[in-house]
């Protein structure tokens, strides 16, 4: 059973992307586990766009915070674990359709697994690797579980709106891992073994 299956066996929304990288699986997964796109200028611009509704609401007196999206990255996720050199997974909980994201802090994989509040969605994002000849196939998968009809009703339009940008960000992350691993000098600990 994968970490993705273990932490989110039931889900209504999912998305997957993959890329082939010329490096051993362990190196690819190590790089994927370290990558954080929060410092990527294009991703930062997309996250700023994501925060506009909260900023506008705040201008008109709403108390919702925009901080969740201003510094959004892997630091917002709870690490759920690593399965040797096969998979690494992260979890996120919130009312993602709210302009602030409605994030609920999770401090451990156990807290994430136990969480089950109605009206709050759970998301698991994983990176997994598989040998592909003399290369490695790196995949990222995201699953979202909405525990009730109301959260599904609220999340569905958000998902339809955000999914293209989310897919773009994930593919950008995969390409960044590919560049990091394939172009690093041999012997640097990051580049492919030759």
Q: Are 20 and 135 in contact (CB under 8 A)?
A: yes
125-159 pLDDT, tens digit each: 999 999 999 999 999 999 999 999 999 999 999 99
Looking at the predicted structure, is the pLDDT value of residue 73 above 90? no
Q: Work out the end-to-end distance of the chain between its first and last CA atoms, rounded to an integer number of angstroms.
A: 32
**Percent of the chain, pLDDT > 70?**
78
DSSP code per residue over 76-119: GSEEEEEETTTEEEEEEEE-TTSTT--B----SHHHHHH---TT
pLDDT value at residue 166:
87
How many Cβ atoms from other residues are within 10 Å of residue 161's Cβ?
11
List the domains of the chain with CATH numbers.
3-181 (3.30.530)
Which residue is associated with the tokens 């051993």? 24
Q: Where are the beta strands (DSSP E) in the chain?
A: 13-21, 78-83, 87-94, 121-132, 135-145
Task: Give me the mean pLDDT over the 94-108 stretch.
Answer: 90
Query: How far is the C-alpha of 41 from the C-alpha of 3, rounded, in Å?
Result: 30
What pLDDT, on a 0 to 100 scale, did the predictor assign at position 112?
98
Average pLDDT, the chain: 85
Dump pLDDT digits (tens) for 103-122. 999 999 999 999 999 999 99
């Amino acid at each position: 059973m994968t970490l993705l299956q273990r932490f989110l066996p039931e889900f209504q929304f999912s998305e997957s992307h993959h890329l082939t990288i010329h490096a051993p699986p362990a190196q690819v997964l190590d790089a994927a586990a370290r990558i954080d796109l929060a410092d990527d200028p294009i991703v930062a611009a997309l996250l700023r766009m994501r925060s506009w509704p909260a900023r506008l609401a705040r201008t008109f007196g709403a108390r919702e915070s925009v901080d969740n999206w201003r510094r959004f990255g892997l630091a917002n996720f709870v690490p759920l674990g690593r399965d040797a050199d096969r998979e690494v997974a992260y979890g996120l909980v919130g009312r993602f359709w709210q302009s602030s994201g409605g994030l609920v802090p999770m401090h451990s994989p156990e807290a994430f697994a136990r969480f089950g509040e109605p009206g709050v969605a759970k998301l698991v994002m994983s990176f997994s690797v598989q040998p592909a000849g003399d290369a490695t196939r790196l995949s990222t998968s995201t699953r979202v579980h909405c525990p009730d009809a109301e959260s599904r009703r609220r999340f569905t339009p958000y998902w339809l709106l955000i999914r293209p940008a989310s897919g773009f960000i994930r593919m950008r992350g995969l390409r960044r891992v590919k560049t990091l691993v394939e172009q690093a000098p041999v012997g640097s600990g990051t580049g492919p073994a030759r």
